[in-house]
Amino acid sequence: MKTFLIVGGTGKVGSRLAEVLRGAGHGVRVASRSGGDVRFDWREPGTYVAALHGVDGVFLVGPGSATDWSPALGQLLNVAASEGVKRAVLLSARGVEFLPDGAVGRAEKTLAAGPIPWTVLRPSHFAQNFTEAMFVPINGQILAPVADGAEPFIDVKDSAEVAAEVLTNASWENQTVEISGPSALTFDEAAAILTEHAGRRLSFIDEDPDQHARNLRAAGTPEGYITWRMAMLGGIRRGDDAYISNGVERVLGRPATSFAGWAAREGSVLGLTSA
């Protein structure tokens, strides 16, 4: 059994990854600015050594996509190498090709050029974005500037299980692994499935992309993040992100969880969500 550091271990993927690794008998060290097992701050390189000391591998969730954090990642990888860390896995995003010179694309390049074996994990949009993130319904409406574009939403639980396998298995080193759900759904189709399991009617409303960006600016959202988010959503709107990735089946030897299967397990939480 080995010990793994999870940077971003209190987030959607990191928290579930910690459960999977502990269930397999591994040691887990959750790193965060507060509330984790060890203090870690991307902006403070002095926190890197203590977090990385004595771990076999590290799972990396970046500090966001608003600004270029690849210099900090390069520093961390050098510290990891000096501490004897054997493997680094980066949580990226499958739509990185829609903004190749953005913060996430730069982080991928820095990882691949770094001193330790690596794996890039690129998931499609999470099914849990409807319960925990940008697609959570407001007054029964799912608002997104995606028109009739389809997306093969992936269950975060699948993402965590794939992350655990590539983190603990050297056969996935120096590879990019793309993962998605088994089929692409429009947001109207997703809303219909969620309605079945949420106990209330949910509908999808297409937003104007320019208005969506204006709303983000009005809320004080950093411009770099707006650029990233609109690039990702634009990929869905154009139909460019509807393709299926077979990474779950390749890595885990089983099909990816369907959106309906995820909704049957977790979608009822939407019944508790108010305006």
275 residues of the chain, pLDDT tens digit each: 799 999 988 889 999 999 999 999 999 999 988 878 999 999 999 999 999 999 999 999 999 888 999 999 999 999 999 999 999 999 999 999 999 999 999 999 999 999 999 999 999 999 999 999 899 999 999 999 999 999 999 999 999 999 999 999 999 999 999 999 999 999 999 999 999 998 889 999 999 999 999 999 999 999 999 999 999 999 999 999 999 999 999 999 999 999 999 999 987 887 754 43
- The predicted structure's pLDDT at residue 275: 36
Give me the pLDDT at residue 35, please.
Answer: 77
Q: Find all residues with CB under 8 Å of 74, minimum gap 6, and list them.
A: 110, 114
Provide the strand spans (E) within the chain. Answer: 3-7, 27-32, 38-39, 57-60, 87-91, 118-123, 141-144, 150-151, 175-179, 185-186, 203-206
Architecture of domain 3-272: 3-Layer(aba) Sandwich (3.40)
What is the pTM (predicted TM-score) of this model?
Answer: 0.94
pLDDT at position 273: 45
DSSP state of 258: P
Distance of alpha carbon 4 from its chain centroid, rounded? 18
Report phi then psi at 218, rounded to 5. -65, -25
DSSP notation for 68-100 = --HHHHHHHHHHHHHTT--EEEEE--GGGGGST
SS3 3: strand
The 3-state DSSP class for residue 150 equals strand
* Secondary structure (H, E, C), 195-224: HHHHCCCCEEEECCHHHHHHHHHHCCCCHH
Cβ contact 53:82 at 8 Å = no
Burial class (CB in 10 A: 0-12, 13-18, 19+), 247: buried
